[in-house]
Amino acid sequence: MTRNDVARLAGTSPAVVSYVINNGPRPVSESARRRVLAAVEELGYRPNAVARSLRSRRSWTIGLIASDSAGGKSPFFGQFTRACEEVAWQRGYSVLFGNSAEDPARAESYVRSFLGRQVDGLVLMRVPVSPEWAEEMRGRIPVVTIDHEAPPFFSRLAVDDEEGGYQATRHLLGHGHTRIGFVGGPLDITPVELRAAGWRRALLEAGANPGAIAEGELSLEGGYDAALRLLSSPDRPTAVFASIDDQAIGAMRAAADLGLRVPGDVAVAGFDGAREAAYTVPGLTTISQPIAEMARHATETLVGAIESDAAEPVTKIFSAALVTRGSCGCPEPRLHR
């Protein structure tokens, strides 16, 4: 299998195939790029990666470290990593994944391992960055952080977590609720802390006392356990805002086990915009993050920095959108296939 075979199937010249595979040196139209990539996939063509790396002085790999890469604690991680990998593949890069399991030492070990494998850049998803190894990476490879504070020489992308928490709580207040509890992960996790701040701000603006906070793991089980405690209290809230959708789904099950109707006895809202939120009964009202757009922007930002020595760090904050369903008392939309 040769580059000429790919060119014949794609209806292009071998030079165009080379430009696509090597991301240059000449630009290629998007339609030609798609045809070449489709031909590469169909034929199973594999260029000589070692020769390619020697020519370009790149490894054509990106390291991605997440605090939960499998998405077990939040669907956000699984959807983000999948979208990131897709964009990287389109640009000719492979992705190495690492799950830090919320352990800073394990995250640093992955960073050092990926640096040893000469990755061209790093994406860090909700991974805290110590000043020591941040300085070690400075000027060495480009880094993009997702949903976490970062030094100014790293690019940073995040969703407006506080505004999202504020929107969700304002919506529950609009349904007449004044006792709104918060089910969240450990409050030292930056996105959770900011979502709780938005919840608190909305309640204070409305003249309502901030309700009780029940902390739990960022998981279905964590949401269930935290909501069980919250909804079993004598002055239980009439609405619950959860820091992620999985926790909100766990809270809905906890309400059912306590004999409470959603939304009749307790309204529930979440945060993430997970696909599963549309399939609960009732459907889950949520703050939806533009996950695919964030992943695309993160990967394009990183590739741009890899391929341009003059690229400046980028900071971009994305807006989140309220999606209403039956769990808060809004009309339940039909699912259209």
The pLDDT, as a whole number, for residue 320 is: 93
With a CB cutoff of 8 Å and minimum separation 6, the contacts of 257 are: 228
Does the pLDDT of residue 334 top 90, yes or no?
Answer: no
The DSSP symbol for 178 reads: -
Question: For the chain, which domains are there?
Answer: 3-47 (1.10.260.40), 59-158+291-318 (3.40.50.2300), 161-289+322-328 (3.40.50.2300)
The answer, yes or no, to whether the previous bond of 25 is cis (omega within 30 of 0) is: yes
The pLDDT, as a whole number, for residue 310 is: 58
pLDDT in tens, 109-137: 888 888 887 888 889 887 877 777 777 77
pLDDT in tens, 61-72: 888 888 764 444
The answer, yes or no, to whether the previous bond of 142 is cis (omega within 30 of 0) is: no
pTM comes to 0.76
The pLDDT, as a whole number, for residue 1 is: 64
Residue 215 binned pLDDT confidence (cut-offs 50, 70, 90): very high
Please report, for residues 41, 87, 230, the alpha-carbon distance to residue 141 in angstroms, rounded to integers and kept in the order given.
29, 19, 46
The pLDDT, as a whole number, for residue 47 is: 64
Distance CA 201, CA 209 (A): 10
Tokens representing 250 are 């766990």
Choice among 59-63, 176-180, 265-269, 278-282 with the minimum mean pLDDT = 59-63
* Number of residues that this document lists for the chain: 337
pLDDT in tens, 243-262: 999 999 999 999 999 999 99
Torsion angle of C-alpha atoms 50, 51, 53, 56, degrees rounded to 10: 180
Q: Sign of the CA dihedral 39, 45, 48, 49?
A: positive
Mean pLDDT taken over the chain = 85
Residue 322 binned pLDDT confidence (cut-offs 50, 70, 90): very high
- Are 66 and 126 in contact by the 8 Å Cβ rule? The answer is yes
Does the pLDDT of residue 285 top 90, yes or no?
Answer: yes
Please report, for residues 120, 268, 275, 285, the alpha-carbon distance to residue 279 in angstroms, rounded to integers and kept in the order given.
39, 15, 8, 11
- Order the strands of the 155-159 sheet from edge to edge: 94-99, 61-66, 121-125, 143-146, 155-159, 315-318
Give DSSP secondary structure letters for 40-78: HHHHT----HHHHHHHHT---EEEEEETTTT-SS-HHHH
Closest Cα to residue 17, out of 56, 45, 42, 51? 45
pLDDT in tens, 125-173: 878 777 777 777 777 788 898 877 777 888 899 999 999 999 999 999 9
State in Å, rounded, how far the first CA of the chain is from the last one.
40
Distance CA 307, CA 317 (A): 23
84-88 — which CB contacts under 8 Å span 24+ positions? Answer: 84/123, 84/295, 84/298, 84/299, 87/295, 87/296, 87/299, 87/300, 88/62, 88/299, 88/303
